[in-house]
Structures are given as C-alpha cells and as structure tokens.
C-alpha cells in the first residue's frame, strides 16, 4: 500500500459529461501529480501541485482542470468528456516539489461511452 488514496476506482459516464476524480496524498507529502495512462500513449504527465499552488503543467487539455485544497487532497475535473478520454488516471505524491520518488495510487479507471 503506497498510502495514496484515489476515489472512485471505476467511473463510467457518457460523452459530454463532467466528472471529478479525488486523491488523498501520503501523510506529510505536499506535492501531488496527476498522470493519464492509456494503452497507446503510456503514462502522460498532466499537472503538479505543491502545497496548494500549481507547480508544473504537462499536456493537459483545456477541458481538464485540477486543484489542491488546504488539507492537501487534490481533485481532477474532466469536462465535456469524449470517447478518447477513456483511460486510467493516476495520482502520485511526493514529499517535496522536486522529489522524483513518486508514490502512486491505484488509479481511477474512466470509461466514456
């Protein structure tokens, strides 16, 4: 168990809808990362937050947004969903802003029908 909690484990929704994925980092970790994993693209970095502030951005679509709350949990919001957004979404945490040793959650499997 990595100590990173993601909910829900599975999410099935329709095109055009909006969903929210939730992540609780390991106790004491200030940095949260969101990654998308698909069969053809592998693990793709989306966005990083450190102690409530956005720290780095990857290839995150404008339809996607995220935030980190004062209690350090994070949410990833996906809107106007398309079939191609179906993927496994992982949250990871680390103790500092640049610590490369990431602890990953078990992911949220999103299926857009």
Partner 1 sequence: EDQVTQSPEALRLQEGESSSLNCSYTVSGLRGLFWYRQDPGKGPEFLFTLYSAGEEKEKERLKATLTKKESFLHITAPKPEDSATYLCAVQARGSQGNLIFGKGTKLSVKP
* Minimum gap (Å) between residue 58 Cβ and partner 1: 6
How far apart are alpha carbons 23 and 47 in whole angstroms?
Answer: 13
The closest alpha carbon to 91, from 111, 112, 76, belongs to 76
How far apart are alpha carbons 34 and 48 in whole angstroms?
Answer: 6
- The residue range among 17-25, 31-39, 63-71, 78-86 that interacts with partner 1, by the rule CB under 8 A, is 31-39
The residue among 62 and 100 lying less far from partner 1, judged by its C-beta, is: 100
Residues lying near partner 1 in the complex (CB under 8 A) are found at: 2, 4, 31, 33, 35, 41-45, 48, 50, 55-56, 58, 90, 92, 94, 96-107
């Amino acid at each position: 168990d990595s100590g990173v909690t993601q909910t829900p484990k599975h999410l099935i929704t329709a095109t055009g809808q909006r969903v929210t994925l939730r992540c609780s980092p390991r106790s004491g970790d200030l940095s949260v990362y969101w990654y998308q994993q698909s069969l053809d693209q592998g693990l793709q970095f989306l966005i990083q937050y450190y102690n409530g502030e956005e720290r780095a951005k990857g290839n995150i679509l404008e339809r996607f947004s995220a935030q980190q709350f004062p209690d350090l949990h994070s949410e990833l919001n996906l809107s106007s969903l398309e079939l191609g957004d179906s993927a496994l979404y992982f949250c990871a945490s680390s103790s500092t802003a640049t610590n490369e040793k990431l602890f990953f959650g078990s992911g949220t499997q999103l299926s857009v029908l």
